[in-house]
Each structure stands twice: as structure tokens, then as C-alpha cells.
Amino acid sequence: MKKVINNPEAVVHEMIEGMVQAYPDKLRHLEGTTVIVRADAPVPGKVAVISGGGSGHEPSHAGYVGRGMLDAAVAGEVFTSPTPDQIYEGMKAIDSGNGVLMVIKNYTGDVMNFEMAAELAEAEGIKVAKVIVNDDVAVENSTFTTGRRGIAGTVFVHKIAGAKAEKGGSLEEVEAVANKVISHVKSMGIALTPCTIPAVGKPGFEISEEEMEVGMGIHGEPGIERTKVKTSHEIAELLVEKVLAEHQLTAEDKVAVLINGLGATPLMELFIFNKDVSEILAKKGVQVYKTFVGEYMTSIEMAGLSLSILKLDDELTELLEAPADTAAWK
């Protein structure tokens, strides 16, 4: 295992320190916790939005903390759900009396721990709503998950729910628009290589030099098939087909496209893949309103990528375009 780290057991705490030191104008670390909040939290009069999950998906989730997106991100150990007490600490630090929306990726541990934190918060009089993101269309159930997994499409939920909260939406309104994004975004990915959890020290699975995994999860969960490495164009055809099959798009609809690198995929390859996706969508008559290419939700140093397609309407477009001031959104 070759990594730029100090102690494999301390990676999450050291990462949090280094992140807050990089962006002191945007981020604040709640001492004694693994929670990063907006530097100016709690924001008076505003509904707060919290997310989080296991670490190893950077820039998710703390990279999206800041004005116009998340109020707090709670980091678990690598690929491990954050504990309820940590989530609860985050909620207390960001609630201004207007309530807290939890954005949870659909993994059994995350859902359970966020729900326990919600109970703790509600017992203290904090209004809580929660949404569960399940954008990965690859498989119906999986390791760690009942139902579909939440992957890179989650970042659209952060952006749009965060913008709605920033504009003064009520807890019910912010929850409603978050649920609209969830129903409008579908994703799927492929992986070329595994990744190594620092404290484990060896790759999470093995895959031969000639093979790729189609539909793999962001923790290395199995996908739908292992095939010979395909070309970018073949991968694009496969993923676009799977993702569009879940959408009912008309000729008037516009979409946002997110091409997400999983950690070790060069930007060069993400752009080549975007060329192929763009060509295929154009042939199918799908109107792309905006494209995002980069690392948004990674799997440590996994090589691979995912495609997310968000069906837009006027409300979602306006909120997607609203300003945000975070380390990682652009």
C-alpha cells in the first residue's frame, strides 16, 4: 500500500484538520468530533442541511459545506457510517430553530445512524426531515444496502436542496425539492481497479488487468457483470442506456450531466468519455443543459467513473445555477 499518510488509523482526523486549515473562511471543525460545519453556522432564519457518510469519497461530503449547499458534513471512518452521536452534534451546531434536513445515501448503516440521530435531535426539540438518495440504477440490493445505492447523484441533492434553504425555503419546501431531485437523478458507474482502505492495507477486491466491473458501488460492492475492458464509447453506450431507461424524457426536457471520476481516473479520460456521452445523447435527441466533469464522489483511489443524469425543470435549473461558496462545487 503506497499512500501519503502518517497513521492509517488516524486518516480521517488528519484529513479533517488539513481541510479546515485549507479553507478557514468556509469551514469550521467541531472540536472533538468528525463534523465540519459552515464557518458561520448556525445561520439565523435558515433551514440547515446536513449530510455525510463514510470517508473515502472526498470531496464528498465536506467539500460541499458552505453558503448555498451544506451546513454540516459528518465523516465516518473510511467506508463506515458516522455514528449517531456525531451526526447529532452536527445537527445541534447548525440548527437555527428552523429545522434540519438530512441528506442520507441509501446504505443500511447510514440510514440507521441518521435515524437514531434524528430521534436524539427531535427529543431536544429540533425539527428534522430526511431524504434518502438511491440514484444508482445498477442493482436493486447490494452489500450494505437494501434497495438501490446512493452515489454521485447525491451531490445534485446537496446543491439544489442547499440552494433552496439558502433562498429561505421552509423545511417542508427544502425536503420536497430534495425529493424531487432524488426522483429525477439516476446514475451508474464502472470500475477498472479496486481501492485500498488505509487501515486494511490491501485492495478490497481483485480484478485482472483485462477486466472491468460494470455497475460497481462506491465501496467496491459488486456490480452486474465483469467484462473485458470496453472502450470509452462502449462504456458510454452501456451507461447512457441503463440510466436513460429509468427516465421518461420528452423532446422538451433538458438534463444536467455529471461525469464523476472515482479517484484515479485522469481528467483526460473523463473528457474523452464526455465526448462519447455527448454524442450518444445528441443522437437520442436529449438536450444537455449543463455538464459537470471531475471528481465529485470518489472511492479513494479507484480507477473508474460514473455517469449521472438529472432531469431538469425550471425550479431545479434555477437552484442548480444559484451561487454556492464551497471548497469543491463548481
Chain residues binding a second copy by CB under 8 A are 2-6, 11, 14-19, 21-23, 55-56, 58-59, 63, 192-193, 209, 212, 229, 231-233, 235, 259, 263-276, 278, 291-293, 295, 298, 300-301, 303-305, 327, 330
Q: Which is nearer to a second copy, 237 or 246 (CB)?
A: 237
Q: Which is nearer to a second copy, 94 or 259 (CB)?
A: 259
Q: Are strands 225-228 and 211-214 parallel, antiparallel or unpaired?
A: antiparallel
Distance from C-alpha of 165 to C-alpha of 54, rounded to nearest angstrom: 24
Q: Which of 57, 61, 158, 184 is catalytic?
A: 57
Q: Which is nearer to a second copy, 45 or 202 (CB)?
A: 202
For residue 253, give the 3-state DSSP assignment.
coil
Report, in Å, the least distance between residue 12 CB and a second copy: 8
Q: Which is nearer to a second copy, 253 or 301 (CB)?
A: 301
Kindly tell me the burial class for residue 92, based on how many C-beta atoms sit within 10 Å of its own C-beta (0-12, 13-18, 19 or more): middle
Q: Which is nearer to a second copy, 107 or 296 (CB)?
A: 296
Catalytic status, residue 57? yes
Catalytic status, residue 13? no
Grid cell in block for residue 139: 442493482
Report, in Å, the least distance between residue 98 CB and a second copy: 29
Report, in Å, the least distance between residue 103 CB and a second copy: 20
Report, in Å, the least distance between residue 70 CB and a second copy: 16
Report, in Å, the least distance between residue 321 CB and a second copy: 12
DSSP assignment of 171-238, as one string?
Answer: HHHHHHHHHHHHHHEEEEEEESS--B-TTT-SBSS---TTEEEET--TT----SEEEEPPPHHHHHHH
What residues have CB less than 8 Å from 241, skipping those under 6 apart? none
Distance from C-alpha of 170 to C-alpha of 175, rounded to nearest angstrom: 8
Q: Which of 61, 158, 184, 219 is catalytic?
A: 219
What region does 81 belong to: left with phi over 0, alpha with psi -120 to 50, or beta?
Answer: beta
Report which of 82, 29, 79, 80 is spatially closest to residue 56, judged by C-alpha positions: 79
Residues identified as active-site: 57, 219
